[in-house]
Amino acid sequence: MRLLIILIIYIICAFGSKALLAQSGLSILVKAKVYNSKNEPVQGALVQSQERDSILSYTDDQGAFSLNVLPGENLKVAALGYKAKFLPASNSLSIIRLTASDLDTIFVKTPFQRISKADVFGDVSVVDEQALLTKNYTTGSLDGLEAFVPGYNGNSIWGMGTYLMLVDGVPRDANNVMPSEIDQISVLKGVGAIALYGSKGAKGVINITTKRGQPFDNKIAVRANMGAFVPVAYPKYLGSAEYMTLYNEARNNDSLPALYDQQEIYHYASAENPYRYPNVDYYSDNYLKRVYNRYDATAEISGGNDKARYYTNMGFYTEGSLLDFGMAKQNRNNRFSLRGNVDIKINRFIKGRIDATASFYDGRGINADYWGAAATVRPNRFIPLIPIDFIEGDDQSSLLYVENSNHIIDGKYLLGGTQLDQTNTLGTIYAGGYNKYISRQFQFSSGIDADLKDILPGLKFKSNFAVDYATAYSLSYNYDYATYEPIWNSYSGVDLISSLNKYGNDATSGTQNASNSWYRQTIAFYGLFSYDQTFGNQNNISAELVANGYQQSESQIYHRVSNANLGLHLGYNYDEKYYVDFNGAYVHSAKLPEKHREALSPTLSLAWRISKEKFMHSGTGFINDLKLTASAGILNTDLDISDYYIYQGYYTVNGSWYGWKDGVGFQATESRRGDNPDMRFPKRKEINLGFEGLFFNSSLQLNGHFFRSSSEGNIIQAASLFPSYFTSYWPVSSFIPYVNYDNDLRTGIDFGMDYHKMLGKLDVNIGLNGTYYNTKATQRAEVYEDDYQYRQGKNIDGIWGLQNLGFFESQQDIDNSPTQSFGEVHPGDIKYKDQNGDGVINSQDEVFLGKGGWFGAPFTIGMNLTLTYKKLTLFLYAIGRYGAYGIKNNSYYWVYGDGKYSEVVRNRWTEATKATATYPRLTTGSSDNNFRTSDFWMYKTDRFDLSKIQLNYDMTDLLRRKQFVKALSVYISGSNILTLAGQNDVLELNIGSAPQTRFYNIGVQANF
């Protein structure tokens, strides 16, 4: 790998030299301008070479551009609402009205196809990340994608579940690509768009295309940022005195004596001696910073000529943590990455690509779960730090402990503990050592593109081979340390420590422990022949034959994850008016029986550019482009097959033990499932209809799609489908096989709008995107006594539970109510509705409560706004998510036993508060009746987030000379700024993990 990186750097340096650029004598320099309908020069025109597969232009402030072209080279120029064909011989542009539905992107870039946006069907969305990054600095490659792509809701595409994530056509992690490296993000949604990607792409595909160098456009771009994370909200737990008082109440509710006397509680409440009567707040400034910082820097170097092009990205970021004590002060994460993409023109027929990426991630942490302890350890449990100056002067044994201790905190404290807390989270952070997390990823890919026009005009070959390797492991230094429990005495009202009980010993071994080692290897390949030719200027025929596959090996996982398929594309369009596309794949999966491991996935797509019809030309001048689309298909997929070999029955080697009368025991062999040699692929059957168009002189872009997608033959192991004698309960045996049975249905719409208008000198751009879908379980193997419990016909991601009727008001209320089967109940416990009237509250009374949003909120809406006035640009985006519910079921809300009390228990039920109580009575038991899924704990997850605001200022005109610095801009931004929701107190709260944060940043970007 080191040799590979050296080779890439060498190639970049070699082809990046000015000497080599100057040698190119095969091209000519021309100048031209693009004008709009008002005969005004258009700024920001993009020129695309069909032969060279790249953007060739540089556009200045006057709308003019200079470029090197080959004689006879076919160029496309995309301007605001228009396109043009450039004729080098006459140095002229022939401008015609733009019929593409995306003005920002000339081509949609997918691994197998580069399609003119005008010819793309509506189930593909594209984000131009290069253009977006100029106004939206972000730290994550998919941040805010919901605000720009209809159909994507953050967790899934069209509510389907896990999608296939590709980077340059290879299955890779999105978080290993920094936004500055990205050229374009393509989101493929419908069956026609994803068929070529085989089984693993059946729930949608997101492809990130990284940047590549452009010929005769040598540049260096540098970006630096400094940001701060500010916590949004912390949990609110009760202090020691209040906790002790309410814990006594809980014991009283359980007919147990009080644990704490009132005098003791008084001392804790008075805060007279926080060391003797501790009130530990894990979320205070004693342990946490108010903010922590992030710094990053990126350098991009790109350019080349018609022989070779290069792009290099070097990036580094570092960020700290909120913890501000002990060894946690050194917590920090660092990442350094290097990417090199090189394109080489070997001859006039063959081009090659060599890409390499290396990322180095190092994190330093602590050997304790601080946030877990913050959510569970009671405030009065122990004293974290014992002040040395409180030790009595004649307590020589305790002073000897001090003298011999290796851990005197701040020169004033010993580590506190108890017999039950001899080691604890705080002590470990102070003295228990630290750990390092190390992750390395190396990615290499290469490919060959061949133009076979001498064999057949329009015939091309493209291939790509990639090998990725990711590894991670932890190194820890685990130190032993002593803790001390003080014995207090009072002398004339003065508290002193008369002795210490010591637990454990200080020992720093220096031994380094390696653990959590992990690796993953990915090998991916695709090769394709493509054909694209236009006959008679109107009849375009396209075809592709694709062989595609990848295999991933991962540590501690026996079977490799594989995907292999043969894809075929056949397309025809007449005059960019009528389109017919066939996309299909012949897929293979080793998860199925040998006779059923292959299947054909066919799709058919149609499109009609109705705006080119003669009847649309009269009285419809506001329509610049309008295309109607329809797609249908069947995709075979193994994504939801849980494991390999489940089509085979198997027997246990070590079953249950049985004893005979003579006392001799034997071990049984037990069946766990039966064979199903007829198991087949689950299928995604879909039809989707859509439209997309440009209106009002191309200032308004609209698109919308309806989809109906059925997932059929999902694999289950269900006892209800087989006679009862297929199972036995002692010994535990089952001959029930896995079978194709369950069916799901998803229906929905997505829509998008983009509006661009000049209001005087103010440039306004507004984008709006949305998705709504509904899920339904259309077939389930189930048997219930009561019809209302059937999952069939209800939402796939539904929440099922009990309906509450408030609290039991009295013992008489309990006696007059149905029998509770979830444990003994008392006044103040939750009362449930007896759905079937059998006089018993049990699992048969569980009903459908609402959508759970497992695949994302059913309704997602995103908007983005760009306002530009002269050199000042304001950008923002916001995302709304509606229609789902959650359950408040973590330890912050379900408080029982000796758990830590949060502020929600203040509204508990008591005899005095039963008219206004919103929380059940307190108990030291498990309270199985109260703490179970029911609508009592439900809440709406509806929210609208102002996710980003950024203000940019272009300082280029302030530069006196632009010989060295060509462009300069500064910006400030804020992320996760505001959440508008009815349940902010729930949605913005993290329990047992680091808090949510807002991120404020200032940055600068310069081009050289």
Lowest-pLDDT range of 457-461, 618-622, 714-718, 799-803: 618-622
Q: What is the pLDDT of residues 594-653, one digit of tens each?
A: 999 999 999 999 999 998 888 876 545 688 889 999 999 999 999 999 899 999 998 887
Neighbours of 489 (CB within 10 A): 12
Q: What is the pLDDT of residues 405-428, one digit of tens each?
A: 999 999 999 999 999 999 999 999
How far is CA 925 from its chain centroid?
A: 38
User: If pLDDT is split at 50, 70 and 90, which confidence band does 661 have?
Assistant: low
Q: What is the pLDDT of residues 763-794, one digit of tens each?
A: 999 999 999 999 999 999 999 999 999 999 99
Per-residue model confidence (pLDDT) at position 437: 96
User: If pLDDT is split at 50, 70 and 90, which confidence band does 79 have?
Assistant: very low
The answer, yes or no, to whether residue 95 has pLDDT greater than 90, is no
* CA separation, residue 770 to residues 277, 534, 981 (Å): 55, 37, 18
Backbone dihedral angles phi then psi of residue 724, each to the nearest 5 degrees: -65, -25
Per-residue model confidence (pLDDT) at position 520: 96
The answer, yes or no, to whether residue 72 has pLDDT greater than 60, is no
927, 823 contact by CB (below 8 A): yes
Q: What is the pLDDT of residues 678-697, one digit of tens each?
A: 999 999 999 999 999 988 88
User: If pLDDT is split at 50, 70 and 90, which confidence band does 102 have?
Assistant: very low
Q: What is the pLDDT of residues 935-959, one digit of tens each?
A: 999 999 999 999 999 999 999 888 7
Taking residues 443-458, what's their average pLDDT? 94
| CA–CA dist 676, 444 (Å, integer) | 41
* Gyration radius from the chain CA atoms: 33
315, 296 contact by CB (below 8 A): yes
User: If pLDDT is split at 50, 70 and 90, which confidence band does 61 have?
Assistant: very low
The answer, yes or no, to whether residue 91 has pLDDT greater than 70, is no
> What residue type is assigned to position 419 of the chain?
Q
Nearest C-alpha neighbor of 60 from the set 968, 966, 1004, 970: 966
Q: What is the pLDDT of residues 718-737, one digit of tens each?
A: 989 999 889 887 777 899 99
Q: What is the pLDDT of residues 355-386, one digit of tens each?
A: 999 999 999 999 999 999 999 999 999 999 99
Burial grade of 662 (CB within 10 A; 0-12, 13-18, 19 or more): exposed
Per-residue model confidence (pLDDT) at position 986: 95
The answer, yes or no, to whether residue 401 has pLDDT greater than 90, is yes
User: If pLDDT is split at 50, 70 and 90, which confidence band does 961 have?
Assistant: low
> What residue type is assigned to position 846 of the chain?
E
User: If pLDDT is split at 50, 70 and 90, which confidence band does 5 have?
Assistant: very low
Q: What is the pLDDT of residues 103-134, one digit of tens each?
A: 334 567 788 877 777 677 768 999 989 889 99
User: If pLDDT is split at 50, 70 and 90, which confidence band does 663 have?
Assistant: low
Per-residue model confidence (pLDDT) at position 94: 43
Per-residue model confidence (pLDDT) at position 47: 52
Q: What is the pLDDT of residues 218-241, one digit of tens each?
A: 889 999 999 999 999 999 999 999
User: If pLDDT is split at 50, 70 and 90, which confidence band does 558 have?
Assistant: confident
Q: What is the pLDDT of residues 981-1003, one digit of tens each?
A: 999 999 999 999 999 999 999 99
User: If pLDDT is split at 50, 70 and 90, which confidence band does 30 have?
Assistant: very low
Per-residue model confidence (pLDDT) at position 620: 55
Strands 840-841 and 819-820: parallel
- Contacts of 96-99 with C-beta under 8 Å, sequence gap 24+, read 97/624, 97/625, 98/624, 98/625, 98/694, 98/698, 99/576, 99/609, 99/611, 99/612, 99/624, 99/625, 99/694
Nearest C-alpha neighbor of 719 from the set 738, 700, 704: 738
Per-residue model confidence (pLDDT) at position 190: 93
**Is the omega angle on the peptide bond into residue 88 within 30 degrees of 0, that is, cis?**
no
Backbone dihedral angles phi then psi of residue 606, each to the nearest 5 degrees: -125, 150
| Measured torsion, CA atoms of residues 780, 781, 784, 789, in degrees rounded to the nearest 10 | -20
Mean pLDDT, the chain, rounded, equals 87
The answer, yes or no, to whether residue 207 has pLDDT greater than 80, is yes
Burial grade of 91 (CB within 10 A; 0-12, 13-18, 19 or more): exposed
Tokens of 312: 């290099």
Dihedral angle sign, alpha carbons of residues 811, 816, 817, 818: positive
The answer, yes or no, to whether residue 41 has pLDDT greater than 70, is no
Per-residue model confidence (pLDDT) at position 439: 96
Neighbours of 212 (CB within 10 A): 20
Looking from the CA of 874 toward its CB, the CA atoms found within 13 Å total: 7
Per-residue model confidence (pLDDT) at position 250: 96
Nearest C-alpha neighbor of 703 from the set 627, 623, 631: 627
Per-residue model confidence (pLDDT) at position 648: 94
The answer, yes or no, to whether residue 42 has pLDDT greater than 70, is no
Indicate the SS3 state at residue 893: coil
Strands 350-366 and 943-954: unpaired
Q: What is the pLDDT of residues 809-832, one digit of tens each?
A: 999 999 999 999 999 999 999 999
More confident residue, 697 or 513: 513
Per-residue model confidence (pLDDT) at position 93: 45
For residue 545, the cross-strand partners are 529, 568
The answer, yes or no, to whether residue 57 has pLDDT greater than 80, is no
* Biggest CA pair distance of the chain: 108
